[in-house]
Amino acid sequence: MSEQHHRSTWLARPRVFLPAALVLIVVTTLIGAVLAFEPQVTQQVRRTTPVITAEIVRELPHDKGAFCQGLLIHDGVLYESTGLYGESSLRRVDLETGGVKKIRRLDNRLFGEGLASHGEHLYQLTWKAGVGFIYDRKTLNYVGRFRYRGEGWGLTSDGKQLILSNGSSTLQFLDPKNFRVTGNLTVRDGNRIVNNLNELEFIDDVIYANVWFEDRIAMISPETGEVLSWIDCSELLPAEHRREEEVLNGIAYDKVQKRLYITGKNWPKLFEIRVVE
């Protein structure tokens, strides 16, 4: 095709000219749509869960030999479940002195885990055996056992049901009468699943959970599983002052005095804290 023919063909094609006002309307509409959508995306991306600082109120003695797996306070008395094969136990402890007032040792083949108070009893988990034990809270006498599937990590009570963690992102709700699972709750921080949920405590309609190998505590909605806030506990016993396995693990709340206590595995101290936003 000659250059002249090519040029004449191109000139022969019809050309459409849009009025300037119409172009302006189209462009303005598109820009408006983008701007209207952008804040929603930005808000979703920028959403961060609040972080609250744990401020030390006082420091109390804690048995350095106690590999803490479960902790609670009832009527001013501290109860603790300890782990490790050959060393697992259930203890009644003097809150102020850290002295062990009474102890029940588990079979050497069992690894003690989470602890909860419900009704007149204490409920203690084991790690991999799939069996838990029931004790009279006043005497620590053994009164029974219960079964559950999977591993046992943390345990607490909301006053109606037991709540169990197994190291995953899912909390199980158990009927304390027959220990059947009545519900499951997946814990999320925004869009991120929170794994390694460990020791638990139920405080003012919120589930508090240690996360294995993290120096923070998740405050979880029992309805949605959403992490409402994080409590930063990194300054309680800094990592350079403990061995790698001596992680934060142990939450106890005194409902009467409204005091919150925190410790860890083989920590020499029990910390009373308050949270500061």
The pLDDT tens digits of the residues spanning 179-203 come to 999 999 999 999 999 999 999 999 9
The one-letter code for the residue type at 218 is A
3-state secondary structure of 265: strand
Range with lowest mean pLDDT among 27-31, 88-92, 221-225, 244-248: 27-31
Read off the pLDDT band of 47 (50, 70, 90). Answer: low
Whether residue 98 is predicted with pLDDT greater than 90 in this model: the reply is: yes
Domain with CATH 2.130.10.10 in the chain: 51-276
Q: What is the mean pLDDT of residues 198-212?
A: 98
* Higher per-residue pLDDT: 38 or 61: 61
Read off the pLDDT band of 19 (50, 70, 90). Answer: low
- Total residues belonging to the chain: 277
**What pLDDT is recorded for position 277?**
75
Q: What is the mean pLDDT of residues 204-231?
A: 98
**What pLDDT is recorded for position 150?**
95
Range 51-276 has CATH code 2.130.10.10: yes
The answer to whether the CB of 174 falls within 8 A of the CB of 164 is: yes
Give the separation between CA 56 and CA 171, rounded to whole angstroms: 29
Return the sign of the alpha-carbon dihedral for residues 254, 177, 80, 139: positive
Whether residue 41 is predicted with pLDDT greater than 50 in this model: the reply is: no
Please name the residue ranges forming H helices in the chain.
3-12, 20-46
> Model's pTM, two decimal places?
0.83
pLDDT tens figures, 108-167: 999 999 999 999 999 999 999 999 999 999 999 999 999 999 999 999 999 999 999 999
Q: Indicate the DSSP class of residue 240.
A: G
Q: Indicate the DSSP class of residue 96.
A: T
Give the separation between CA 57 and CA 219, rounded to whole angstroms: 20
pLDDT tens figures, 221-276: 999 999 999 999 999 998 888 999 999 999 999 999 999 999 999 999 999 999 98
Q: 194: buried, middle or exposed (CB in 10 Å: 19+, 13-18, 0-12)?
A: buried
Whether residue 33 is predicted with pLDDT greater than 60 in this model: the reply is: no
**What pLDDT is recorded for position 276?**
82
